[in-house]
Chain A
Amino acid sequence: MSLPNLFLADLPPEAALTPQLVQEACVAIKRNRANWLLHRSTQELVELLAYAAERWLQPEYGLRRLALSLAPDETGFGMATLARGLDTFFKQLTVENLNALLIQDLGDSRRLDEFCAPPGELRQGRLAHARGPELLVHFAAGNLPNSALFSLALGVLTKSAQFVKLSRSGSVIPRLWAHTLADLEPKLGSCLELATWAGGNDSLESMILSQAECVTIHGSNETIASLVPRIPAGCRLVPYGHRLSFGFIGADQLSTYQSQKTAARAATDVTAWNQLGCLSPHLFYVEERGVVTPEGWADQLAQALAERERSEPRGELPTDIAAELAGRRSLHELRGARHAATREEAVTVPRGAFFDGPQGATRVWASPESTAWTVVYEEDPRFRVSCLNRFVYVKPCRDLADALRQAEVVRGQVSTVGTAVSESRLTELAPLLARWGVSRICPLGRMQEPPPGWRHDGRPALADLVTWTDWETV
C-alpha cells in the first residue's frame, strides 16, 4: 500500500525542506483552517475523531495494517507490542471520553463553538467562549507515538491549523494517523502539515516557531531548552519534558494468591511500548511485610515477563542499546555473585579493600540467549533509573513513605505511580503521593493507559491550548 503525498513528511527523505517551504505550508494550512475548520461544530469534530479511532481498531483497516507491517523495522516495536499499544490508545478515543475531556477542561463541550457556561457561571451571569490557536505547532517525541497522536486530536478539537515536527525515529504512526484524518475529511487534512527533520535545524525551527501561536514540545529537557530561546514573545509554550514512573506494591497484595496477579499486571506495564514511555515503570517498590517477599515477587515478575515475551516479543534492538543492557546486566550479575559468595562462603572483604557498590543482596533474572527482559532485585533501596527496553528493578521498602524517601532524587520528575494496594489503604496513601508531587496515580497494569482526560504532567492538556473571551452579561 502506498500513501499519497499529502504532507511534507510523505516526500522522499532526500527532498530538502527549506524555510520558505515551511512558511508556505503554514500560510496554506492557516488559510484552510479559516475557510473550513473554524466553522465546524465541536461535536462534528468529536465524532470525526472517534470514527477515525474506530477505524484504527479494525484489524483489516488498511493504514493500521500498514503500520503493523512496518513494525518492527520502522517503529522498533514488535508487531504484538505495537498492536496492543495502538489498541489501548484508540479504545480510549471515544465520543464519550472526548466530551468528558471538553467538559472537564472547559466546563461545557460547546465552549469552542459559542458563548456558554456551566450552571455555576450562568448563575453569576457569566458566559465564556474558548478559542484555539490559529496555528498550533507540535514538536513530537521519538520514543512512542501516543503523544503525537493525542496532540493532533487536541488540535482538531481546538480547530487549529497544526504543524507537527516529527522525530525521524517516530514519524510513521503519527503520519498514518494524519492520513486517516485526511482520508475521512480531506478538508481537515488540508489544515494539517507534518514534516520530519533532524532536530537542531535552526533555520527550519526558527521559521516554524515564528509562525506559531502556540507550541507543544514533547522531548528531552535539552530539546526544550534549545527551542525556548527561539519562541517569539506572544507564542504560548506547552512543554512536556523528562518524566519517569514507578510502581508500588502493598503487602496486602502479596498473598500467595494475589501476588502472581500483581506480577502479571506489572509485566503489562513493563512490556507496554517496551517500557519506553514516560509512564513506564523504572522500578517497583515492594512492601516487606507480605506473605511473598519482595525477592519472591521479583521472581514472579520474571516468570510473568518470560511468559509475555512468548506472546508479545520485545523485538530486536540496535547493537549499542543491546550492549548497554548486556553490560548493565553483567554488572548486576557480578554484584549478585559477589554478595552471594560473601554470604555463603564467608569470604571476608579484606580490611581497607575498596568497595563502592550497592549494599545488600542482588539477584538477576534474565531472558536466556537474549536481552529481551531483565529483572534485577536489589536489597539496596535507593532509587535506580532503568535503561528500559524491558529492564526493570525491584526493591524492598517498609512502606510507601519509605519508598518516597528513597525516590527523593527523582522528586518533581515523577509522572505516574502505579499502585497495587487495597482500596481502603489507597485512600490513605493517595494524599501522601499527591503531596509528594506525583502527577498521576493509577492501578498497576494500566500505567500506559491514561484516559484522554488525563492531566498530562499535572496540567490540563486541552485547557492549556485555548484562550478565553469572558462575557459578563449582567
Chain B
Amino acid sequence: MPADSLSSFALRLAEQLRHGGETFSEESTFTQTARELFAIQVERNSVLRSWCQARGVRPNPELSWRDIPAIPTNAFKEADVSCIPVPERTAEFHSSGTTTQSPSRHFHRPESLDLYAISVRAAFARRMGSAAGQRLLVSLTPPPAEAPHSSLVHMFQILGEQSRPGRTTYFGKATPSGWTIDHRRLEEFLRTLTGPILLAGTAFNYVNWLDTQPGPPIRLPTGSIILETGGYKGRSRELPRADLVDLLTKHLMVPAASILTEYGMSELSSQAYSDEAAATEAAPHLRFPPWVRTRVISPETGREVPAGQVGILQIFDLANVWSTLALQTADLARAQSGLFQLLGRASRSEPRGCSLLSLEIS
C-alpha cells in the first residue's frame, strides 16, 4: 500500500463530494468505497487493527459496509484512533463533555481538514440548497481562536467562509467555566440587519440567551436560517425541541421551517441535518448525506434491529479518512427509511441503584 493511499483516496472522495456525493446513494458504490477505505485504515490505524483482530474481521472483497467493526466513540478518549503519524498532526478536535473525564481526541492534518471542509459544505448545500451558504454567518459560539479544539466552531467557520470570508461574527466567549454570550451586543446587532443570515449555535446557547429576558422581539430578515446543534449537557435547562422552536419563532419572528437541527460529533467528519418536516417534532428526523450511513443495533445481540426499533446508533462516515470510518456512538436512535431519530443516550446513571456515579469508567 503506498504511503499516500489515504491522500489519494481523499482526493477522489473530495471530487465526488464537490458534485454533491449523490453517487454514494448507490449501495454498491458505498460498500465498495467503504471497503477500500477500511482496508487502508486497518493497515494504518493500530487501534482499528487490534479491534478487527478481536472481532475476527479482515478486509475482504465480500465485506459489506455493515460488517466493518465500529469503534466505540469512548475509545477516542483514551487511545490514538488515528492514521496520522504523531509529528504530522496539526489539529485536534475534542468532545465537549464533563470536565472530570478526558475528552475524545480526533486528530487532523491539513489534508483531512480540507476534506472536512468539503464535506461540511456539501452536506449543508444538499440540505439547504447551494445558495444557502450566501447568508452572513452569525455564530453564538466563541471565535475559532478561542475554541481551537471545537469541531463545531470549526464547522461554523467553514460555513461562514463560504459566503463572505472574514465577515463571520461571533458573539460567544470562551471562559474557564464554559461558553458565554454577549446577549446585549447580539441583540443590538440582530436589530441592524439588512440581509438574511445563518444564525448558528448550540441548543444551550439559545436557551441561555432566551432565558435571560431578551429585549422585544426581533424580526430576522426574510430567508434567514437558524441552525441549532448539540445537546444540552447540563449547561442550561433542557427544553423539548418544540418549546425551543416556539421560543425562537416568537423572539426572532421566523417560520418554524427555517429552524434547522444539526447532529455531529468531534469523532466524525460529516453532519446530519433535520428533515424538512422536523420543526415541531420532539425528536426531529435527521438525515446524513449519502457518504454517511447509519445502522441501529440491539445492545443485547449487537445485530441490526428492525426498522423503527430503538437501539445503539452506529455511523459509517466515508469522510473520516484519517481515523476510522465506522463508529459506535453512545446514542440511542430509531431509524426508518434513511432517517433517524435520537432518543437520548445510553444510561449513564446507575440503574435503579443506590451506587455511585462519581467513579465512571476511566
Q: Which residues of A contact B (CB under 8 A)?
A: 76, 141-143, 169-170, 218-220, 240-244, 276-278, 282, 317-328, 330-331, 333-338, 340-342, 347, 349-358, 369-371, 383-389, 409-410, 413
Could you jot down 28 A-B contacts, CB within 8 Å?
Answer: A170-B352, A244-B355, A318-B347, A319-B332, A323-B299, A323-B312, A323-B347, A324-B351, A325-B299, A327-B74, A334-B47, A334-B51, A334-B71, A338-B50, A340-B50, A349-B80, A351-B86, A352-B86, A353-B86, A354-B80, A356-B77, A357-B79, A369-B300, A371-B299, A385-B350, A385-B359, A389-B351, A410-B359
- Nearest chain B residue, comparing its CB with the CB of A364: B54
Give the chain B neighbours of A330 by CB distance below 8 A: 72, 328
User: How long is the Cα–Cα vector from A330 to B90 in the complex, in angstroms?
Assistant: 30
Contact indicator B54/A336 (Cβ below 8 Å): yes
Q: Is the CB of B332 within 8 A of A323?
A: yes
C-alpha spacing A357/B85, complex, angstroms:
20
Other-chain contact of A142, B46, B330, B352, B358 (Cβ < 8 Å):
B352
Q: Are A143 and B346 in contact (CB under 8 A)?
A: no
With beta carbons under 8 angstroms apart, the residue of B47, B54, B355 that contacts A333 is: B54
The CA-CA distance from A388 to B351 in the complex, in Å, is 8
Please tell me which one of the listed residues A276, A319, A384, A409 contacts residue B311 in the complex, with CB atoms under 8 A apart.
A319
Contact B49 A322 (CB under 8 A): no
Residue pair B362, A276 in contact (C-beta under 8 Å) = no
Output the nearest chain A residue to B102 by Cβ-Cβ distance: A356
| B interface residues, Cβ below 8 angstroms from A | 46-47, 49-51, 53-54, 71-72, 74-75, 77-80, 85-87, 102, 105, 299-302, 310-312, 328, 330, 332, 344-348, 350-356, 358-362
Q: List 7 A-B pairs, minimum CB-CB distance, nearest first.
A: A337-B54, A341-B50, A323-B346, A326-B299, A322-B299, A357-B78, A320-B347
Expressed in whole angstroms, the Cα–Cα distance for A413 and B355 within the complex equals: 9
With A and B bound together, what is the CA distance between A369 and B302 in angstroms? Answer: 7
Nearest-Cβ distance from residue B167 to partner chain A, whole angstroms: 36
Of A323, A338, A386, which one neighbours B47 at CB under 8 angstroms?
A338
Are B352 and A76 in contact, CB atoms less than 8 angstroms apart? yes
In the bound complex, residues from chain B placing their C-beta under 8 Å from that of A334 are 47, 50-51, 54, 71-72, 75, 79
Nearest chain A CB to B218's CB is how many angstroms away? 36
Smallest CB gap from A371: residue in B: B300
Instruction: State A352–B87 Cα separation when bound (angstroms).
Output: 8
Most buried by B among A76, A320, A352, A357: A320
* Pair A356/B78 contact, Cβ less than 8 Å: yes
Docked Cα-Cα span, A251 to B243, in Å, equals: 60
The answer to whether A220 and B75 touch across the interface, beta carbons within 8 angstroms, is: no
Question: How many angstroms between the C-alpha atoms of A334 and B46 in the bound complex?
Answer: 11
A301 to B115, CA, bound (A): 49
CB-CB under 8 A from B312, the residues of chain A are: 323, 326-327
> CB-CB < 8 A to A347: which residues of B?
46, 49-50
Chain B residues, CB < 8 A from A317: 351
Assembled-state Cα–Cα distance A322/B309 (Å): 14
- Of A220, A326, A336, A385, which is within 8 A of B354 by CB? A220
Are A387 and B350 also in contact (CB < 8 A) when A278-B355, A330-B328, A357-B78 are?
A: yes
Which residue in chain A gives the minimum CB-CB distance to B331? A323
Distance between Cα atoms of A335 and B300 in the complex (Å): 20
Known interface pairs A327-B346, A389-B351. Does A319 touch B299 (Cβ–Cβ under 8 Å)? yes
Q: A244-B356, A341-B46 are in contact. List 18 more A-B contacts (CB 8 A).
A: A143-B352, A170-B352, A220-B354, A243-B354, A321-B351, A323-B299, A328-B361, A337-B50, A337-B53, A338-B51, A340-B54, A341-B50, A342-B50, A347-B50, A350-B80, A350-B86, A354-B80, A357-B362
Question: Given the known A-B contacts A241-B354, A322-B299, A352-B86, are A384 and B361 also in contact in the complex, defined by CB atoms under 8 Å?
Answer: yes
A275 CB to closest chain B CB (Å) equals 9
User: How far is B352's CA from A76's CA once the two chains are assembled, in angstroms?
Assistant: 10
- Complex Cα distance, B131 from A365, in Å, reads 54
B53: chain A residues within 8 A (beta carbon):
337, 340-341
For A278, give the chain B residue with the smallest CB separation.
B354
Shortest CB distance B311–A (Å): 7
Determine the chain A residues whose CB is within 8 A of the CB of B330 once the complex forms. 323, 327
Q: CB distance A409 to B359 under 8 Å?
A: yes
For residue A370, which residue of chain B has the nearest CB? B300
Q: Which residue of B lies closest to A354 (CB)?
A: B80
Residues of B within 8 A of A141 (CB): 354
- Docked Cα-Cα span, A387 to B347, in Å, equals 10
